[in-house]
C-alpha cells in the first residue's frame, strides 16, 4: 500500500488476480480465487489494514458490477 508500511496478504489458499486502487493509488479491493481452481472469485474490501470479504461469483465482472467497483475506485483526487 502506498504511504503505509503495513502489508495486506492474500487469504490462505487463495491467489490474487486483481488489485483495485483509487486515483491516489490507495488499495481499496482485491479479487482472488482458490489456488487449485477458478470456479469462484472472491472480492475483498480493504478496511483499516485488513480484508473484509464482500462476496463471491463465477466471474470477476459479476462482482465488479454487483459492488460498483469502477464507480468506487474512480473517487479520490479532487
For 43-60, the DSSP string reads EEEEETTEEEEEEEESSH
Query: Does 64 fall in a domain?
Result: yes
Domain encompassing residue 34: 14-69
**Which stretches in the chain have pLDDT values below 70?**
1-6, 75-78
- Tell me if 9 sits within 8 A of 53, measured CB to CB: no
pLDDT of residue 24: 87
How many separate domains does the chain show? 1
Backbone φ/ψ region at 25: left (φ over 0), alpha (ψ -120 to 50), beta: left
The answer to whether position 42 is within a domain reads yes
CB 10, CB 34: distance < 8 Å: no
pLDDT at position 74: 84
Calculate Rg over the CA atoms of the chain: 12
pLDDT at 2: 45
Whether residue 65 lies inside any domain: the answer is yes
Amino acid at each position: 500500500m502506498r504511504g503505509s508500511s503495513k502489508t495486506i496478504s492474500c487469504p490462505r489458499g487463495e491467489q490474487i488476480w486483481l488489485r483495485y486502487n483509487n486515483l491516489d493509488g490507495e488499495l481499496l479491493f482485491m479479487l482472488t480465487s482458490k489456488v487449485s481452481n477458478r470456479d469462484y472469485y472472491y472480492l475483498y474490501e480493504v478496511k483499516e489494514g485488513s480484508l473484509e470479504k464482500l462476496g463471491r461469483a463465477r466471474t470477476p465482472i459479476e462482482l465488479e458490477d454487483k459492488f460498483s467497483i469502477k464507480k468506487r475506485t474512480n473517487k479520490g483526487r479532487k
